[in-house]
Amino acid sequence: MMTELSIIIPCYHEEKNIDILYQELNTTLKTIEISYEIIFVDDGSKDKTYEKIERIAQNDDRVSGISFSRNFGHQIALLAGLEKAKGNMIITMDGDMQHPPKVIPQLISKFKEGYDIVNTQRIDDSSISFFKKQTSKWFYKIINRLSDIEVESLGADFRLMSRETVNAFLSIREHDRFTRGLVSWIGYKQGLIEYQAHPRHAGTSSYTTGRMLKLALNGITSMSSKPLRISLFFGLFFFASGILYSLFILYNYFTGSNVQGWTSILITILILGGIQLFILSIIGEYVSKIFNESKARPLYIIKKRTDTD
Ligand code: UDP
Ligand code: MG
Q: Residue type for 274, please?
A: G
- What local confidence, expressed as pLDDT, does residue 262 receive? 67
143 Cβ below 6 A of ligand 1 = no
pLDDT top residue among 116 and 222:
116
- Residue 47 pLDDT exceeds 70: yes
Q: 10 Å Cβ neighbour count for 271?
A: 12
Average pLDDT over residues 249-257: 77
Q: 10 Å Cβ neighbour count for 200?
A: 16
Dihedral sign (CA 39, 35, 99, 298): positive
Confidence of residue 126 (pLDDT cuts 50, 70, 90): low
Sheet with 159-162, side-by-side order of all strands: 190-196, 117-123, 159-162, 89-92, 5-11, 36-42, 63-68, 302-305
124: DSSP letter: P
- What local confidence, expressed as pLDDT, does residue 258 receive? 60
The rounded distance, in Å, linking the Cα atoms of 257 and 255 is 6
Percent share of the chain, pLDDT over 70: 96
The H or E element containing residue 117 is strand 117-123
Q: Using alpha carbons only, how large is the chain's radius of gyration in Å?
A: 25
Closest CA to 283 of 225, 235, 234: 225
| Gap from CA of 107 to ligand 2 centroid (Å) | 19
The rounded distance, in Å, linking the Cα atoms of 212 and 139 is 10
pLDDT top residue among 270 and 237:
237
Q: 10 Å Cβ neighbour count for 285?
A: 15
| Gap from CA of 238 to ligand 2 centroid (Å) | 45
- Residue 251 pLDDT exceeds 70: yes
249-270 as b/e, with b when 16 or more CB fall inside 10 Å? Answer: eeeeeeeeeeeeeeeeeeeeee
- What local confidence, expressed as pLDDT, does residue 36 receive? 94
Confidence of residue 307 (pLDDT cuts 50, 70, 90): confident
146-201, pLDDT tens digit by residue?
Answer: 877 777 776 789 999 999 999 999 998 888 888 888 898 899 999 999 988 788 88
Ligand nearest to the CA of 13: 1
- What local confidence, expressed as pLDDT, does residue 63 receive? 95
Average pLDDT over residues 22-47: 94
pLDDT top residue among 294 and 83:
83
- What local confidence, expressed as pLDDT, does residue 81 receive? 96
Q: 10 Å Cβ neighbour count for 194?
A: 12
56-82, pLDDT tens digit by residue?
Answer: 999 999 999 999 999 999 999 999 999
Top mutation candidate among 43, 48, 49, 94 for ligand 1, by most atoms within 8 Å of CB: 94
List alpha helices for the chain, DSSP H: 18-32, 49-59, 74-84, 104-112, 130-146, 163-170, 179-186, 209-223, 226-255, 262-295
Q: How far is CA 127 from the centre of its chain?
A: 20
The rounded distance, in Å, linking the Cα atoms of 150 and 147 is 8
Top mutation candidate among 22, 206, 209 for ligand 1, by most atoms within 8 Å of CB: 206
Q: What is the pTM of this model?
A: 0.78
Q: 10 Å Cβ neighbour count for 90?
A: 25
47 Cβ below 6 A of ligand 1 = no
254-282, pLDDT tens digit by residue?
Answer: 787 766 776 777 777 877 877 787 888 78
The rounded distance, in Å, linking the Cα atoms of 90 and 29 is 14
206 Cβ below 6 A of ligand 1 = yes
